[in-house]
Structure 1
Amino acid sequence: MTNFRLGELFCGPGGIALGALKAKIESDGELFNISHAWANDYDKDTCETYAKNICPEDSKSVICKDVRKLDISKLSDIDALAFGFPCNDFSLVGEQKGIDGVYGPLYSYGVKTLQRFKPKWFLAENVGGIRSANEGNAFQTILEELTAVGYKVTPHLYKFEEYGVPQARHRVIIIGIRNDLPFDFKVPVLKNSQIVTSREAIENPPISVDAYNHELTKQSSIVVERLKHIKAGENAFNANLPEHLKLNVRGAQISQIYKRLDPNKPAYTVTGSGGGGTHIYHWEEPRALTNRERARLQTFPDDFFFCGSKESVRKQIGMAVPAKGVQVIFEAVLKTFAGISYDSVKPNIQFVQKDLFSPPIVNKELEFV
């Protein structure tokens, strides 16, 4: 058996970990799989959710601490690293400060962890907007630093609805394989993959009334009245609303405000926010989705229990990586190491590797305590 011990930074509630644990490949009687080693996040509820669902027998392996105060010298050795570094400063919604923001530089801790443990491969994840932050320079710098510490990187903008996820969620994922290893990662593609609609995800099979995290949101009367005038697939700005139900919004009109799902299409992107009409709304019933319904759009199974208040759970679900989508990518990594060919496409993000013997480019101001 070839097992890769996985460490995670910015682990979230466990979407990446769940996809990793489910990924298993057999080749010539040998099993290739991924196991949990340790994980880190700063949010208490998130860490409790991760520990409860991913490693209930070893909850101490989940370190709840600001990554800037994490002592990596005390962590066990790993064969692989995953880090979905914070996207706040790279999102197209917002100021997009990139590396110059509060959260932007945190990717550097992933680089430092790679330097420390030199795992065989890594997976890094962020929003699509990372490509244009700081006029494109931020993403280029990140790729150069990952390359400089000894990895062949393959960045690609994955459209998760093409990987069996019932949601139009587009994320940049970078796979890196250590330079001294004779493997080249290829971007997997699922040929003849069936698009999963939001109706299929939420209704098939029906969600039990006593399912975890399935509490209804109390809607105000004006929200209920507004939703009754918004058809499936419409939002508060393109629906034919009576004057008293229209939103008094100046400037940019975000399409997800009071937007109802189209039951015949994948859902729009699930986010961690929930105020101001951003909960995600049912296509037929005049209400927001429950957290369990949102979790289904993120491909979490119904027995995956999220810890914390309803608002905390909503945020955890929205910030997670869809387990089913990332499982396909992990399986491609395992096939790469197993020498198994698979259907693939060329990366849609171009990056030219620099001299592999260049010294590491690392932000020296960001040191582990």
Structure 2
Amino acid sequence: MIFRKGELFCGPGGLAFAAKSASISNENEEFSIKHAWANDIDYSACKTFAKNICYSDESIITTNEDEVKNGKTVICKDVRELDITKLPPIDAFTFGFPCNDFSIVGEQKGFEGKYGALYTYGVKVLREHKPKWFLAENVGGLQSANGGEAFKKIIQDLASVGEDEFGGYEIVPHLYKFEEYGVPQARHRVIIVGIRKDLGLHYKIPMPTTSNKSEYRSSKWAFEVSCYNEGNVRDALYNNEMTKHPAETVKRLQAIPPGQNAWYEGIPEELRLKVKGAKLSNIYKRLDPNIPAYTVTGSGGGGTHMYHYDEPRALTNRERARLQTFPDDYNFQGSKEDVRKQIGMAVPPFGAKIIIEAILKTFAGIEYPHIQPKWNIDELRDIT
């Protein structure tokens, strides 16, 4: 069985790469996923998606849904202007709806923010195309946005699609800690998997692949060992440009030990930051080589690039991509700043693949080790 997959908010293709890499077979059949169409508003991200997921250049990018039938399967436009009814049929659907207003960093505007209601376009796709399964992704802060009511509302909306037609979707939300699934980065994300109830299948949360913290993959492992790349990251050809720092920044970084940040007490007075109020922990924070990296983000100004454990410099985009588990031949398109943002907003393919393979195993009737989800779905749906 080949699932034709559509995607909104596709970014550079973290979920799509995980999906195309996943394949499960039982005694009778192989289960895999094929790209059908994808949408994002960012042109550089669309170019990256086209090159690495579709093996094509920007010629397959369009702003017109009518051209998808002619092979232009990456639609670059605001989702609010997208005519979902014109998109080809799909069996699977993924969407990492924008997380800006649900992040624990910032004002947590939730539904009141600019991006808060964009998940509803995923709901519209479900209503129009009725895929057999879907996967939705957002930041861990989603669970507490708007006092927890935003999360409950989203769960209710997703679960109720098609209730009168095929019984709706069986929803399984969970807070995945990707460092527990072989990703060399502490990245916690809410992922919601839904399967049509009329199919009679029950997805379960795959058991973490690492049983304790001593087995977590570290940033040093990502740069120097790695199982999804070959050789040291220094040898990677794409997106590996160094950042040129002012001499004062280099001296400051030299005074900060691995694992510490700009507020380390041993920094000479003349190199200290003159900051009043809150002191963010990731400012000029250097990686600890022995543990997973802290969360890769799309930011880069004001000392937030992420900094190497062994050298007084910011990470290259390729090093950031390794922390996100993209292979070295994944060639990100756009300016250095565009690429940094793409990498920071992406879903780690290595961790996402484990989740998607669990979905395929569910369809294949293959049992796998699993754990209980973080939330009781009945409690989440009770928002009265």
Question: Which residue does 2:29 correspond to in 1?
Answer: 30
Question: Which residue does 2:351 correspond to in 1?
Answer: 325
State the SS of the aligned residue for 1:225: helix
In the TM superposition, what whole-angstrom CA distance separates every residue of 1:54-101 from its partner, at most 9, and x where no partner exists? Answer: 012555201000000011122110001100000000011111000111
The residue correspondences of 1:201-280 to structure 2 (distance < 5 A) are 201-204=222-225, 205-209=231-235, 211-280=237-306
Contact 1:147 1:353 in 2 (8 A): no
CA gap of 1:260–1:354, structure 2 versus 1, over 3 A, is: closer
Q: Distance in 2 between matches of 1:50 and 1:354?
A: 34
Question: Which residue does 2:125 correspond to in 1?
Answer: 113
Question: Which residue does 2:94 correspond to in 1?
Answer: 82
Question: Which residue does 1:170 correspond to in 2?
Answer: 188
Question: Which residue does 2:366 correspond to in 1?
Answer: 340
Contact 2:155 2:380 in 1 (8 A): no
Question: Which residue does 1:3 correspond to in 2?
Answer: 2
Q: Distance in 2 between matches of 1:178 and 1:34?
A: 17
Question: Which residue does 1:364 correspond to in 2?
Answer: none
Instruction: Flag structure 2 segments of 5+ consecutive residues without an equivalent.
Output: 62-71, 162-167, 226-230
Deviation at 1:320, TM superposition (A): 0.3
Q: Distance in 2 between matches of 1:85 and 1:235?
A: 31
Deviation at 1:207, TM superposition (A): 2.5
The residue correspondences of 1:193-204 to structure 2 (distance < 5 A) are 194-204=215-225
Deviation at 1:190, TM superposition (A): 3.3
In the TM superposition, what whole-angstrom CA distance separates every residue of 1:314-356 from its partner, at most 9, and x where no partner exists? Answer: 0000000000000000000000111111011000123217899
CA gap of 1:210–1:329, structure 2 versus 1, over 3 A, is: closer
Which residue identity is paired with 1:135? G
TM-score, structure 2 as length reference: 0.90
Which residue identity is paired with 2:222? A
State the SS of the aligned residue for 2:376: coil
Contact 1:191 1:343 in 2 (8 A): no
Q: Distance in 2 between matches of 1:209 and 1:22?
A: 24
Q: Distance in 1 between matches of 2:120 and 2:264?
A: 42
Question: Which residue does 2:68 correspond to in 1?
Answer: none
- Which of residues 155, 167, 171 is equivalent to 2:173? 155
Q: Distance in 2 between matches of 1:80 and 1:210?
A: 33
**The structure with more helix, counted as a fraction of residues:** 2
Contact 2:13 2:53 in 1 (8 A): yes
Contact 2:236 2:328 in 1 (8 A): no
Which residue identity is paired with 1:35? K
State the SS of the aligned residue for 2:267: coil
Deviation at 1:191, TM superposition (A): 4.3
Which residue identity is paired with 1:312? D
State the SS of the aligned residue for 1:352: helix
Question: Which residue does 1:362 correspond to in 2?
Answer: none
Contact 2:110 2:146 in 1 (8 A): yes
Q: State yes or no: 1:281 paired with 2:299.
A: no
State the SS of the aligned residue for 2:198: coil
Deviation at 1:254, TM superposition (A): 1.2
Contact 2:108 2:145 in 1 (8 A): yes
CA gap of 1:250–1:332, structure 2 versus 1, over 3 A, is: same
Q: Distance in 1 between matches of 2:83 and 2:96?
A: 19
TM-score, structure 1 as length reference: 0.93
Identity %: 61
Contact 2:181 2:210 in 1 (8 A): no
Q: Distance in 2 between matches of 1:67 and 1:105?
A: 11
Deviation at 1:203, TM superposition (A): 1.4
Contact 1:6 1:37 in 2 (8 A): yes
Contact 1:231 1:239 in 2 (8 A): no
Which residue identity is paired with 2:20? L
Contact 1:91 1:127 in 2 (8 A): yes
Contact 1:177 1:184 in 2 (8 A): yes
In the TM superposition, what whole-angstrom CA distance separates every residue of 1:87-129 from its partner, at most 9, and x where no partner exists? Answer: 0000111110001110010000000110000000100000000
CA gap of 1:50–1:239, structure 2 versus 1, over 3 A, is: farther
Q: Distance in 1 between matches of 2:202 and 2:216?
A: 29
Deviation at 1:242, TM superposition (A): 1.4
Q: Distance in 2 between matches of 1:26 and 1:254?
A: 47
Contact 2:138 2:191 in 1 (8 A): yes
State the SS of the aligned residue for 1:89: helix
Q: State yes or no: 1:50 paired with 2:49.
A: yes
Question: Which residue does 1:359 correspond to in 2?
Answer: none
Deviation at 1:192, TM superposition (A): 4.6
Q: Distance in 1 between matches of 2:209 and 2:292?
A: 18
Question: Which residue does 2:137 correspond to in 1?
Answer: 125
Q: Distance in 2 between matches of 1:143 and 1:195?
A: 31
Question: Which residue does 2:66 correspond to in 1?
Answer: none
State the SS of the aligned residue for 1:109: helix
Contact 2:84 2:124 in 1 (8 A): no
In the TM superposition, what whole-angstrom CA distance separates every residue of 1:28-47 from its partner, at most 9, and x where no partner exists? Answer: 04111111110000000000
